[in-house]
């Protein structure tokens, strides 16, 4: 059983509590980051903290902790729980206050860090791939909800995942309001066609995932042609290979989408191998 960090102290996970008046609970008013830990090192920590601060600024959520303090807290979570391979979930909610939508009702945000031992998915998943389904649930447009906010309110993603599971798929693939490919419910989407790597652009209304950024950096460094664009679903269904990325997936092949089967080909595997060497140089 792991220990949970809440605000300024650790507690046993079965004793962890936040107020029923916390606006994160009442309204989903908060932000979060999921971070991967390899051999005791938090991967791309500075990028995650920068995105956390950007998300906080976009929802006018003051963060009373500086980056040094957050780094220290995250490292303490690993130390206390004795984890070298783990996933950290850092959540900041608006905090407790009387019911109502005005942020001034909540003067003190709530900080929670969950630590989960994790050393990756079985290699069989990367050999066999997972399945995806194009769903009817659409990504909200940026003028409704800025996709750059890593919001704790995941209802849109949950509805998409429900539809995907009902279709027998592992992951949902959402379109935006204009019918262009966007992203998975918990992942970014990539596919290969004629040796070119395609991915929906940020203009498609996606979250620019940290792992997505690393994969794009890696591909360009390897001389792989990259196209970030507005892409129709037909482009995905006519692809040679496809894969998803996120903090825990790393580079996860798609074996099929809506009955269209893909080869678990060399390109995604090559990128994954390079990605892992990037994590563990030498």
Residues classed as catalytic: 150
CB 214 within 8 A of CB 225: no
Can you tell me the distance from the alpha carbon of 237 to that of 273, in angstroms, rounded to the nearest whole number?
Answer: 25
131: left (phi over 0), alpha (psi -120 to 50) or beta: beta
CB hemisphere CA count around 225 (13 angstroms): 7
The answer to whether the Cα torsion of 168, 170, 175, 181 is positive or negative is negative
Question: What residues form DSSP beta bridges with 12?
Answer: 3
**C-alpha to C-alpha distance for 193 and 238, rounded to whole angstroms:** 8
């Amino acid at each position: 059983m792991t220990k949970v960090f809440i605000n300024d102290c650790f507690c046993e996970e079965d004793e962890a509590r936040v107020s029923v008046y916390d606006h994160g609970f009442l309204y989903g008013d908060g932000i979060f980051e999921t971070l991967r830990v390899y051999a005791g090192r938090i991967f791309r920590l500075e990028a995650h903290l920068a995105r956390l601060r950007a998300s906080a600024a976009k929802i006018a959520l003051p963060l009373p902790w500086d980056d040094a303090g957050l780094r220290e807290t995250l490292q303490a979570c690993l130390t206390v729980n004795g984890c070298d391979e783990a996933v950290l979930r850092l959540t900041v909610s608006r905090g407790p206050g009387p019911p109502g939508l005005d942020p001034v009702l909540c003067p003190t945000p709530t900080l929670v860090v969950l630590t989960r031992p994790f050393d990756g998915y079985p290699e069989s998943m990367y050999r066999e791939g997972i399945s995806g389904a194009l769903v009817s649930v659409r990504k909200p447009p940026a003028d409704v909800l800025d996709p750059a906010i890593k919001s704790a309110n995941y209802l849109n993603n949950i509805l998409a995942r429900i539809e995907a599971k009902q279709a027998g798929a592992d992951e949902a693939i959402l379109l935006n309001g204009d019918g262009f490919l966007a992203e998975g419910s918990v992942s970014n989407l990539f596919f290969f066609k004629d040796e070119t790597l395609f991915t929906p652009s940020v203009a498609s209304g996606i979250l620019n995932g940290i792992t997505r950024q690393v994969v794009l950096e890696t591909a360009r460094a390897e001389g792989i042609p990259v196209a970030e664009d507005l892409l129709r679903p037909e482009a995905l269904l006519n692809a040679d290979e496809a894969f998803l990325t996120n903090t825990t997936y790393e580079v996860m092949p798609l074996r099929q989408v809506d009955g269209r089967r893909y080869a678990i080909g060399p390109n995604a595997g090559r990128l994954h191998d390079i990605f892992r060497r990037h994590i563990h140089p030498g």
